[in-house]
Amino acid sequence: MDPEIIGMDDMMAVYEVTDLFGIDREKISVPLEKEGPGAVRRNGEEVEIVIPAGVPVRDWLPELRARLQGCGFEQHEADGGEWD
């Protein structure tokens, strides 16, 4: 598989974080191609997550969590996850 295209393991890692915030998986959009430093954009209850290129997804999860918090999402569970 092309390392710049997200796979199921990448999506499951993203869901580990978004689930902590109670974000409905139907409201999450993730482009198939990894790009730049990654990005998180919120539009109401919907969120677009761009996974960064050249960085293992698990290494980026703390940044994803911080960006979701920066977009106004609040974490619902006390557990920070194994990637923390």
Around Cβ 35, how many Cβ atoms within 10 Å? Answer: 12
Confidence of residue 76 (pLDDT cuts 50, 70, 90): confident
Mention every residue, 6+ apart, whose C-beta is less than 8 A from residue 29.
Answer: 46, 47, 48, 49
Angle, vertex CA 68, rays to CA 63 and CA 70, nearest 5: 95
pLDDT of residue 81: 55
Domain parsing of the chain, residue ranges: 8-70
DSSP 5: B
User: Could you report the per-residue pLDDT of 15-40, keeping only the tens digit for each?
Assistant: 999 999 999 999 999 999 999 999 99
Prediction pTM value? 0.86
Furthest-apart CA atoms within the chain: distance in Å: 35
pLDDT of residue 71: 96
